[in-house]
Amino acid sequence: MTDLSAETVIVTGASRGLGASMARRLTREGANVVLSARDEAALDDVAADVADAPGETLVAPADVTDEAAVEALVDATVDAFGAPTGLVNNAGVGMLSLHDELRDTVTVDADDWRLILEVNLTGAFLCAKHAVPHMVAAGRGNVINVSSGLGRRAAAGWGPYVASKWGLEGFSRTLADEVEADGVNVNCLDPGGRAATGFWDHLPEAERDGVLPPDVMDDAITLLLAQGPDGVTRESLPAEEWEERLDA
């Protein structure tokens, strides 16, 4: 087991799917974990799952697109546990979170485009904007942005999602350059394929073969959050490759 008892980690999108699984695992590794998403009842259920874990939880609902709500989330973290040492920007929306079919770019509703960019990219920016200064002040911290294979390649029908994840990759590297001297690592992590979550709710059953379990990123996120000030930074890898890189 990795000892994360010195860590205070904010996990967005912690109400279900990959985020809920990572948040539960981090609590079991001893971290104090701030569970955030919009659905408070679902966050309460996740907290109840790990009530006996060594780490503590704080349920702090927030819409990541709302800067005042994000600011309040970081303030609540500081009040409960002290400065955050980890931020997992996991909240995300895909094309199939909104519709039961993919859409070529010229048929995408502008409001859907804006929503996907707002949640996946602006949301990560806002959380980093308010959490990272605490890490810089402490001289250590880890920001992990949950990306996708579609942060490295393109796929027809996924226009705004691809744009959001490529944007997230560029944003991550820029932030990494800005805070490396302050001891803060900024990296991207993705499942390495489709993971069985509500993200694929609208995908026909016949196309769901080969999906990865929802805990696919749990080992990698644990290793990433255990990194000290001189850790790997400015990198983007799927979960399995992070495990090989950091478990050596």
Query: Footprint of ligand NAP on this chain (CB under 6 A)?
Result: 12-13, 15-19, 37-39, 42, 63-65, 90-94, 97, 119, 146, 148, 190-191, 194-195, 197-199
**Closest CB to ligand NAP among residues 21, 227:** 21
Min. distance of Cβ 209 from ligand NAP in angstroms? 13
CB count in 10 Å sphere of residue 152 = 15
**Closest CB to ligand NAP among residues 191, 231:** 191
- Distance, in Å, from the CA atom of 234 to the CA atom of 59, rounded to the nearest integer, reads 30
Nearest one of 172, 114, 126 to 146, comparing CA atoms: 172
- Distance, in Å, from the CA atom of 204 to the CA atom of 194, rounded to the nearest integer, reads 14
Two tokens at 218? Answer: 């749990």
Which residue in 81, 125, 158, 161 is the catalytic one?
Answer: 161
**Closest CB to ligand NAP among residues 16, 140:** 16
For 157, the 3-state DSSP assignment is coil
Min. distance of Cβ 201 from ligand NAP in angstroms? 8
**Closest CB to ligand NAP among residues 9, 140:** 9
Q: How far, in Å, are 52, 132, 208, 215 from residue 38 at the CA level?
A: 24, 22, 27, 21
Length of the chain: 248
**Closest CB to ligand NAP among residues 90, 227:** 90
Nearest one of 71, 90, 87 to 79, comparing CA atoms: 71
Min. distance of Cβ 187 from ligand NAP in angstroms? 14
Min. distance of Cβ 146 from ligand NAP in angstroms? 4
The dihedral built from the CA positions of residue 162, 166, 167 and 171, taken in this order, carries a sign that is positive
Min. distance of Cβ 55 from ligand NAP in angstroms? 19
Nearest one of 125, 190, 115, 126 to 152, comparing CA atoms: 190
- Indicate if 161 belongs to the active site: yes
Contact 226, 33 (CB under 8 A): no
- Which residues does the annotation mark as catalytic? 161
